[in-house]
Amino acid sequence: MPDEPTTPVIEFRDVCFRVERTPVLSRVSLQVNRGETLVLLGRSGSGKTTTLKLVNRLVTPSSGEVRVNGISNAQVDVIHLRRGIGYVLQEAGLFPHFTVERNIGIVPHIEGWSAGRIRARVQELLQLVGLSGEFVSRYPHQLSGGQRQRVGVARALAADPEILLMDEPFGALDPLTRDELQREFLSLQRRLHKTVIFVTHDLREALRLGSRIALMEAGKLVTVLAPQEFLKSSDPWASAYVRAFGDGLETAANRGTS
Amino acid sequence: MNVVRFMLQNRTQVLELTSEHLWLVGLSTALAVLIGVPLGILISRRASLNKPVLASANIIQTIPSLALFGFLLPVPWLGARSERLAILALTLYALLPIIRNTFTGIRGVDPAVVEAGRGMGLTESQLLFQVQLPLAVSVILSGIRVAIVISVGLATIAAAIGAGGLGEFIFRGLAMVDNRVILAGAIPAAILALLADLGVGWLEGRLRPR
Amino acid sequence: MMRLPGIFAVLLMVAMVALLLSCSSSHGDRIVVGSKNFTESFILGELIAQQIETHTHLKVERRFYLAGTYICQQAILAGRIDIYPEYTGTALTVILKEPSGRDGTEVYQRVKHEYESRFGLTLGPAFGFNNTFAMEIRGAEARRLNIHALSQAAAFAPEWRAGFGYEFLERPDGYRGLVATYGLRFAETPRVMDLGLLARALKDHQIDLAGGNATDGLIPAFDLFVLEDDRHYFPPYQAVPVLREQTIRQHPEVGRALADLNDKISDTEMQQMNYAVDSQHRDTRDVVREFLREKQLLP
């Protein structure tokens, strides 16, 4: 089979971002391929969330270019762009005054889907994220943290976007629930093959979930490696990370690649 | 009780003055909402307008009401009919609580929720009408409630410039040195204020996001 | 949870209720009579009210003690009252803001015409008395000096101390014009006094000339004499009922009832009624009823 040049789904070309002359991101160049889960790993202030937000243009670059499916972000209609990208935040950011059903169905709704089609899709998604159909009429405040995050993921997937942006989605959950949701994420990815950018500061999570890990520090992209290579990497920052996280990382890395 | 008997004997007038009062308060509050809520929304989006608008509304608040009525009397169209003047003044006084609470209410919406909405592709107006306003409505109503209660009180002063309402009983009673007449104005006014406070307060509670 | 449209619906309903409640600018079968907040206005208001009550089938509501000319004007324009007693001079200078005139009939016609064309209001027939400024001296003095007019007083003014109310001294058509018109010079600078105390001060020889009102009840009571304004300096202040044209149109019987009151009250009779209410503390309703009976206006 001849090698077809495949356009990366998401591409960062030499992106800089400054806030009033303070550099937040410096010369980030990155490619995300179809179907992969790219983890942005770094500590607080490393610029990983900013990088994420550049994709759905919640933030615009000071210089350089962000491309989605080959087209520069700056040139497309931002609303159209965002509706084609699923966005999951920490603490879900669910609309507290909407039921689960209205929350999940928000993008289909503003895209003009019929009520019946939305209802069916909501049921489908609830099943996908492991919640029973009776959740439709509940309100976010009636849900547990884990349930809220599941709804958040369902909401992000509602209009079947090809890209998912996830900003530390499991960060505020207890370890058991986090483990559960990570497992379910992997199973979901196997089924759906979405292109995902996943932000976390947790190396274990990164090793488990990512097809590649992009390590960021102080606004710079340090290195991009597959999980196994990351563990063996001699890069100072990478190894510092590995050391900080102690044992059991091999298992995490292995689980991720199965 | 003397007062009750007096009010029953003169119930037509009590009702008439009460309805005049309601008209003054109702129209001015409606106008203040129509002007104040959009202004509050505007300043919540443009930080630069925040201080000047709130400061202006604040200054208006500090002018003693009778003085404001007095300033406006010579103005041609307004002074010709004192209800116009009274309604303008009452509207101005109602602006500050409404603008401020709209501003606070919208700013008070969880930024994560707003960002989630924006990130998902809601347009700014969809964000405003489907997310921010519904979540802010309880706080906005609280501002409206304060405005109404203030207005009910201020409208009694409007009688001093001939705009009618329950204040007329109060001023007449003072001139006649007749407590029953004074109370026939003061009591319904107090009841109106209470009812508004309780009624809108109940609505606020129902609409508060959980 | 109530959706946004629901809230607006509630607000709209409340606004509509308020609107409906206030849409009663016509009072149906009721006439609302207003008055200002001093005794004479109160008496005239009661007079109008009782006259209408006894001569028509209409119910009358009283909205008395309204605090001043502006308030009454606003109330009648807004339809909150249908009738109230006013003075032609006041209507001309305070409401119409025009310079006053000398001739009573001319002023009356001018006011009536302006009110009809500008405000949709009209004047009923005058009650008969002229509550203009009154320069009073003790009755005994008047008889002793055998004077009855202000022009005659000029000769004696240098021996007199005068007292006036604050407003009269300040108004351009008050004290200054008076002394200019009659060439008056008093023994000393006139005293500023509370209007209510002027008559008593005059009686007690604390002053010798007081600037009061023509229908003050204390004039007959204290045997005071009003010097005639023979040079017609003071503008006319004839008492008249002001009415809404709409009221007269809807209830012509009101016009007929008020016509009966034309010229029925002389200066002296008004003084007596004022005295009865102010000094004798009699009930206004009784005083008015008695007056109507005397004039054979009770059916």
pLDDT tens, residue by residue, A177-223: 999 999 999 999 999 999 999 999 999 999 999 999 999 999 999 99
Predicted local distance difference test score (pLDDT) of residue A256 = 54
**What is the per-residue pLDDT across A16-26, written as a single tens digit (0 to 9) for each?**
999 988 999 99
Q: Which of B120, B124, B130, B140 is the mutation pick for testing A, counting most A CBs within 10 A?
A: B120
Mark yes or no for CB contact A139/B123 under 8 Å: no
Q: Which of A106, A139, A163 is the mutation pick for testing B, counting most B CBs within 10 A?
A: A106
Predicted local distance difference test score (pLDDT) of residue A254 = 73
Contacts of B120 in chain A (CB under 8 A): 82-83, 86-87, 106-107, 155-156
CB-based burial label for B5 (10 Å; 0-12, 13-18, 19+): exposed
The neighbours of chain B, by the rule of 3 or more Cβ pairs under 8 Å, are A, C
Which percentage of chain B shows pLDDT scores above 70?
A: 100
The partner residue sitting opposite A79, judged by closest CB among B112, B116, B123, is B123
Provide the shortest C-alpha distance from residue B112 to chain A (in Å): 5
Predicted local distance difference test score (pLDDT) of residue C173 = 74
Mean pLDDT of chain C: 89
What is the C-alpha to C-alpha distance for residues A136 and A129, in angstroms, rounded to an integer? 13
Helix, strand, or coil here: A96?
A: coil
Residues 6+ apart with CB under 8 A from C252: none
Helix, strand, or coil here: B122?
A: coil
Distance (Å) of CA A84 to CA A55, A68, A114, A128, C196: 11, 10, 18, 19, 86
B22 has a chain C CB within 8 A of its CB: yes
What is the C-alpha to C-alpha distance for residues B147 and B29, in angstroms, rounded to an integer? 7
The partner residue sitting opposite B118, judged by closest CB among A58, A84, A110, is A58
Which percentage of chain A shows pLDDT scores above 90?
A: 79
Task: Please give the residue of chain C at the shortest CA–CA distance from B130.
Answer: C4
Residues 6+ apart with CB under 8 A from C262: C125, C126, C127, C128
C-beta contacts of C231-235 below 8 A and 24+ residues apart: C231/C150, C231/C151, C231/C181, C231/C182, C232/C102, C233/C150, C233/C177, C233/C178, C233/C181, C233/C182, C234/C132, C234/C133, C235/C89, C235/C92, C235/C93, C235/C100, C235/C101, C235/C102, C235/C107, C235/C132, C235/C173
Q: Which residues pair with C123 in a beta bridge?
A: C242
C166 band by pLDDT with thresholds 50, 70 and 90: confident
Residues of chain B falling short of pLDDT 50: none
pLDDT at residue C12 above 70? no
Q: Are C236 and C103 in contact (CB under 8 A)?
A: yes
Q: Are C5 and C13 in contact (CB under 8 A)?
A: no
B105 has a chain C CB within 8 A of its CB: no
Mark yes or no for CB contact A82/B119 under 8 Å: yes
Q: Which of A82, A90, A139, A167 is the mutation pick for testing B, counting most B CBs within 10 A?
A: A82
pTM: 0.81
Nearest partner of C271 among C229, C230, C213, C227, judged by Cα: C213
What is the C-alpha to C-alpha distance for residues B150 and C85, in angstroms, rounded to an integer? 35
Q: Please state the φ and ψ torsions of residue A88, each to the nearest 5 degrees.
A: -120, 130
Predicted local distance difference test score (pLDDT) of residue A257 = 47
- Tokens matching residue B144: 């409206």
Predicted local distance difference test score (pLDDT) of residue C27 = 65
The partner residue sitting opposite A110, judged by closest CB among B110, B126, B209, is B126
Give the end-to-end CA distance of chain C in Å, rounded to a whole number: 67
Predicted local distance difference test score (pLDDT) of residue B207 = 85
Provide the shortest C-alpha distance from residue A73 to chain B (in Å): 14
Mark yes or no for CB contact B115/A89 under 8 Å: yes
Distance (Å) of CA B159 to CA B1, B65, B171, C19: 26, 12, 8, 19
Mark yes or no for CB contact B119/A58 under 8 Å: yes
Secondary structure element (H or E) that encloses residue A191, with its range: helix A175-192
Contacts of B206 in chain C (CB under 8 A): 1-2
Contacts of B162 in chain C (CB under 8 A): 66, 70-75
ipTM attached to this prediction: 0.86
The neighbours of chain C, by the rule of 3 or more Cβ pairs under 8 Å, are B
Helix, strand, or coil here: A8?
A: coil
**What is the per-residue pLDDT across B70-107, written as a single tens digit (0 to 9) for each?**
888 888 888 888 889 999 999 999 999 999 999 999 99
**What is the per-residue pLDDT across C241-287, written as a single tens digit (0 to 9) for each?**
999 999 999 999 999 999 999 999 999 999 999 999 988 999 999 99
**What is the per-residue pLDDT across C97-156, written as a single tens digit (0 to 9) for each?**
888 888 899 999 999 999 999 999 999 999 999 999 899 999 999 999 999 999 999 999
**What is the per-residue pLDDT across B145-159, written as a single tens digit (0 to 9) for each?**
999 999 999 999 999
Q: How many residues in chain C?
A: 299
pLDDT at residue C55 above 80? yes
What is the C-alpha to C-alpha distance for residues A124 and A139, in angstroms, rounded to an integer? 19
The partner residue sitting opposite B119, judged by closest CB among A56, A95, A96, is A56
Q: Among all chains, which residue has been given the structure tokens 């809404």?
A: C244
Provide the shortest C-alpha distance from residue A214 to chain B (in Å): 22
Contacts of C21 in chain B (CB under 8 A): 19, 22-23
Contacts of B141 in chain C (CB under 8 A): 7
Contacts of C19 in chain B (CB under 8 A): 23, 26
Task: Please give the residue of chain C at the shortest CA–CA distance from B79.
Answer: C74
B26 has a chain C CB within 8 A of its CB: yes
The partner residue sitting opposite B119, judged by closest CB among A87, A92, A97, is A87
The partner residue sitting opposite C65, judged by closest CB among B23, B25, B176, is B176
Nearest partner of B185 among B3, B1, B9, judged by Cα: B3
Residues of chain A falling short of pLDDT 50: 1, 257-258
B23 has a chain C CB within 8 A of its CB: yes
The neighbours of chain A, by the rule of 3 or more Cβ pairs under 8 Å, are B
pLDDT at residue C9 above 80? no
C14 has a chain B CB within 8 A of its CB: yes
DSSP-derived pairing of the beta strands A163-167 and A220-225 = unpaired
Task: Please give the residue of chain A at the shortest CA–CA distance from B114.
Answer: A93
Task: Please give the residue of chain B at the shortest CA–CA distance from C42.
Answer: B176
The C162-164 sheet, strands edge to edge: C191-192, C162-164, C209-213, C133-138, C224-227
Q: How many residues in chain B?
A: 210
Please state the rounded mean pLDDT for residues C180-206: 90
Contacts of A56 in chain B (CB under 8 A): 119
B46 has a chain C CB within 8 A of its CB: no
Provide the shortest C-alpha distance from residue B47 to chain C (in Å): 26
Nearest partner of C222 among C137, C119, C99, judged by Cα: C137
Distance (Å) of CA A140 to CA A25, A53, C278: 35, 24, 74
pLDDT at residue C195 above 90? no
What is the C-alpha to C-alpha distance for residues C17 and C23, in angstroms, rounded to an integer? 10
Predicted local distance difference test score (pLDDT) of residue A91 = 81
What is the C-alpha to C-alpha distance for residues A149 and A164, in angstroms, rounded to an integer? 14
Task: Please give the residue of chain B at the shortest CA–CA distance from C19.
Answer: B23
Q: Which positions 86-145 of B are in contact with A (Cβ < 8 Å)?
A: 110, 112-113, 115-123, 126, 131, 134-135
Predicted local distance difference test score (pLDDT) of residue A65 = 94
